[in-house]
Structure 1
Amino acid sequence: MRATAVPARVGRFAMRFSSTPRGARLARRLTGNRLETWDIPYDSTAHDDIVLIVAELAANAVRHGRVPGRDFRLTLTVVGPSVRVEVSDARSEREPVTSAPSGHCDSGRGLLMVAALSARWGWGPRDDGPGKTVWAEYQLPHCV
C-alpha cells in the first residue's frame, strides 16, 4: 500500500477587520474563500473546522477584545499539512478563559471548541502593538 502524499501547500493571508459583528462575518467568509484557493475545498471537514475556528476567534476578538476605533487582524498561514490561524485584538488586559464554564452559562464554550478542533492553540502578546494574539494550528488530513 502506497502512502498518500500531502499536497505541497504554502500560503499566507492577512487582513484587518472592523471590530464589529460584520467584521467577524467578513473574516469568516474570506477564510472560506482563501481555503478554497489553497485546495481545501468547501464542504470538506477540514474547511468547515478551520472556518469554525476563525469564526470563534473573530467573535471573541469583537466581543472581548474590542477597543473603539481599533480593528482586529486575522492571519492564516498554510505550510504543507498545517494551517495556523491567528487573531489579534487590541486588549491585552483580558486574557482568554481556558476553563469550562460553570452553571447554565450560554457563553464560554468557544475556546473549548477551538481546543477540540485544533492540534494545539494558545495566546500571547500581540507583536505589532498593544493587545494579544490568540492562535490555533489545524492539522490537515492526508486526503484533503
Structure 2
Amino acid sequence: MSLSQQRRFPRRKTSVRASRDFVHEVLTGWQLTSLIEDIRLCVSELATNALLHGVPPGREFSVHLSATDDLVRLAVRDSGGGRPSVHEADEQSNSGRGLFIAGQLAAELGIDHHTIGKTVWVAFKRPATP
C-alpha cells in the first residue's frame, strides 16, 4: 500500500501553521495519529527554514507526505539556493536547531539538491497496525 498527498504554500508566515494543519489532516485521514505530533513539529521546522532561507519572493514551497507499509515520509521542497546543514546549536543560540531536532525525531533525515532548489525530508517508521 502506498499513499501520497502534496500541497503548495505561499511565502507567508501563516503557511507554517497551514502546513501543520495539512499534516494533521492527512495523517488523521490515514489513521496514523500516533505520528502526528512528531511530524507536525518537523514540518513546522522545515517549513520555517524554507520560508527563512529557501523561498524566493513570489514563490511557494511544497509539503509532501507519503506512506508505505514501512515508512511515512515528510518532504519540504523550495526553489531557493542555500545548502542546509545539520548542526547542534549551542545553548546561547536562539535558532539553528530545527534540522537537528527533526533528525533526532525521525528514523532518517536527508537533503536532496536539485538544479533549482532543494528538498529536505524526514522518514518515520510506520507503527504496526493492530
Question: TM-score scaled to structure 1, two decimals?
Answer: 0.83
Residue 44 of structure 2 aligns with which residue?
A: 55
Structure 1 residue ranges without an equivalent (≥5):
1-8
C-alpha RMSD of matched pairs (Å):
1.6
Residue 20 of structure 1 aligns with which residue?
A: 12
TM-superposed CA distance for 1:33, in Å, is 0.5
Letter in 2 for 1:26: A
Q: What aligned pairs does 1:1-144 form with structure 2 within 5 A after superposition?
A: 10-41=2-33, 44=34, 46-92=35-81, 94-102=82-90, 104-126=92-114, 130-142=116-128
When you count helix as a share of all residues, which structure comes out higher?
2
DSSP-derived class of the 1:75 partner: strand
Question: TM-score scaled to structure 2, two decimals?
Answer: 0.91
Letter in 2 for 1:135: W
DSSP-derived class of the 2:72 partner: strand
Structure 1 moving runs of 4+ over 6 Å? none
1: CA distance, partners of 2:91 / 2:65: 35
The percentage of aligned residue pairs carrying the same residue is 32
In 1, are the aligned partners of 2:23 and 2:36 still within 8 Å (CA)?
Answer: no
DSSP-derived class of the 2:17 partner: helix
TM-superposed CA distance for 1:103, in Å, is 5.3
In 2, are the aligned partners of 1:12 and 1:77 still within 8 Å (CA)?
Answer: yes
Structure 2 residue ranges without an equivalent (≥5):
none
In 2, are the aligned partners of 1:67 and 1:90 still within 8 Å (CA)?
Answer: yes
Alignment length (residue pairs):
130
In 1, are the aligned partners of 2:64 and 2:75 still within 8 Å (CA)?
Answer: yes
In 1, are the aligned partners of 2:6 and 2:64 still within 8 Å (CA)?
Answer: yes
Q: Which has the larger radius of gyration?
A: 1
DSSP-derived class of the 1:56 partner: helix
